[in-house]
Structure 1
Amino acid sequence: MLLTLDNVLSADELSIARQLLAEAHWASGQITAGPQAAMVKNNQQLSEEAPQLPALRHLVLQALSRSAQFFAAALPLKILPPFFNRYSGQSNSYGFHTDNAMRLVPGQPGAYVRSDVSATLFLSEPESYEGGVLTIDDTFGQHGVKCKAGSLVLYPSSSLHAVSPVTSGERLCCFMFLQSMVPDAGQRRLLFDMDMALLQLRQDLGEAPAVVQLTGTYHNLLRRWAQT
């Protein structure tokens, strides 16, 4: 499922994130690349030693905790601490790749998160840079994504995806990997669609008997498919 969530970060949070990133020292994006990705990855990234990283991670995770739609779509069990990258100048692209299935948790030797869902949170306004389109391959073809600042795009970690060269300006983003309570992407999509339909039915009909029954069906499916 490819899904865009707008206004995940507020204007004040965006301002804070940009200020922190403006003060940061950027390292090579190779630090989190697997063997295949390393051959096509040409960007910059905040290192684990960056003093701004804890505040940035807290800001993003706090914003995600407010978003009911994010929870409904990802059904997160574990979220790998968010990372931050930069595309500009000669460090400006990321070729087609698939995210590693298992991601080592920073600072926790031997602890892993399985990447079921990947996420990109845009921190730069789309008109402030040229190029930098996130292209995602799925069963329905290729989709180009270039969202307004503060928006988040979710997509299966198993999909091929790339970032086209940034030819001018600067593209700042946060990227994340999530282990879902429901590993199967098709099942997650069915649950999300049902959850959104139930939300609309409650607004239209209130807690009518059929709505109550369908809500029970949703939770019974979640109970059947979820892993904790």
Structure 2
Amino acid sequence: MILTFDNLVTPDEVRVLKTLIARAEFVDGRETAGAQLSQVKQNTQIPLDHPVMPEIMRLVMNALRRSQVFMDATHPRALAAMLVSRYQPGMQYGLHVDTPLMGDPTLIRSDLSFTLFLSEPDRYEGGELAFDTGSNEAIYKLSVGSLICYPTGQLHRVRPLQSGERVAVVGWFQSLIRDPGVRELLHDISRARSLVHAAEGNSRAFELLNKSFANLVRRYAET
């Protein structure tokens, strides 16, 4: 299940993130896939130990926690890693799945990945996030402050950047709900619950959906 969240980060938060990023030096990107996939230069990244990274991570995590829709769809348990990547003309990241275990010194299973877009889509050409669906590619290029979340085991790539600059915050986390099928079921119930509540308030139908949602989380959550 691939989910998009428009304007998850506010314009003020985007300005702060861009200010922090402007203060940092970028270095050659580290691998997030299991193996080297291409001799083409992939991207540059802010070093994880750079002084701006804790504030960037705090701002992004606060935005994620603030979105109840995001929380109900993903059930985050622990952040595995987060980085800031920059693509410039000629850079790309070949088809891959991300590393299943991340974190230092404690390893964390990476269930879900996200990309928070920080460059306006009309300011760069190429650089789309593309997912292999089996018969074709699903292509995404979101507006500034918008986020896409997808299973970490999904084959994906960043298409070659033709011009401009593409900057994004990328992260991985472990979900309380390991099974992606159960996460999708919970997401559907959560959406139905919201629709029923908007139409009927705290009706019996809403309470039954609320009960089903809570008991499925209770059954499948790994704490």
Inter-CA distance 156–31: structure 2 relative to 1 (3 Å threshold): closer
Q: Give the aligned partner of residue 189 of structure 2.
A: 194
- 1:141 offset after TM fit, Å? 4.5
Q: Is the 8 A contact 1:98 1:161 kept in 2?
A: yes
Deviation at 1:19, TM superposition (A): 1.5
* Counterparts of residues 103-118 of structure 1 (less than 5 Å): 103-105=102-104, 109=105, 111-118=106-113
CA contact (8 A) 1:26 1:46 kept: yes
Q: Secondary structure at the match of 2:197?
A: helix
1:1-228 to 2 correspondence within 5 Å? 1-30=1-30, 32-37=32-37, 42-90=42-90, 92-105=91-104, 109=105, 111-138=106-133, 141-228=136-223
Change (3 A) 1:191 1:48: same
Shift of 1:138: 3.6
Name the Cα RMSD after superposition.
Answer: 1.7
The 1:180–1:166 alpha-carbon spacing in structure 2 relative to 1, beyond 3 Å, is same
CA contact 1:60–1:82 (8 Å) conserved in 2:
no
SS at match of 1:64: helix
Q: Number of residue pairs matched? A: 223
Report how far residue 120 of structure 1 moved.
Answer: 0.4
C-alpha separation between the residues in 2 aligned to 1:140 and 1:179?
Answer: 28
Asked if the contact 2:27–2:46 (Cα under 8 Å) also holds between the matched residues in 1, the reply is: yes
Q: What is the TM-score of this pair, normalised by structure 2?
A: 0.94
Unaligned regions of 5+ residues in structure 1, if any?
A: none
| One-letter amino acid matched to 2:7 | N
Deviation at residue 128 of structure 1 after TM alignment: 0.8
- Can you list the C-alpha shifts for 1:139-192, whole angstroms capped at 9, x where unaligned? 674210000010010111011000011111110000010101111111100100
Counterparts of 1:193 and 1:40, CA distance in 2: 40
The normalised TM-score by structure 1 is 0.92
More deviation, 45-54/143-152: 45-54
CA distance in 1, matches of 2:40, 2:109: 22
Read off the aligned partner of 1:180 and give its amino acid letter: S
CA contact (8 A) 1:83 1:176 kept: yes
Unaligned runs of 5+ in 2: none
Q: How far apart are the structure 2 equivalents of 1:31 and 1:159?
A: 16
Q: Is the 8 A contact 1:13 1:59 kept in 2?
A: yes
- Distance in 2 between the 1:39 and 1:79 partners? 29
Letter in 1 for 2:96: H
